[in-house]
Structure 1
Amino acid sequence: MASDKQYVQARIDALLTAAEAGDPLDESWEPVRLIAQTLIEKAQTR
């Protein structure tokens, strides 16, 4: 379980680094978008 968290953190860090370097936001961002969408929806229902 901890290794899953570390993998996700490393993947998000890599995506953010690539975006900061000017790489386009492609389909690899879809999981991040879904996570953000879920968090926003949960926050709005409270």
Structure 2
Amino acid sequence: MTHIRTPVTIDDPANRIDFYATFLHSNRRVALPIQQYLAQHWPQRA
């Protein structure tokens, strides 16, 4: 059983956070788009 750990960094100096997802290789196509969506829609600085 292979587990993949893929980092998606959100670049916001006020709220830096790194998301990691651990999932089975077969579920990569499900988990990665969720991570990418979070990174793209993270609240911007006011």
Q: Which has the higher contact order (CA 8 A, sep 6+)?
A: 2
Q: TM (normalized to structure 1)?
A: 0.36
TM-score with structure 2 setting the length: 0.36
Structure number with the higher strand fraction is 2
More helix by share: 1
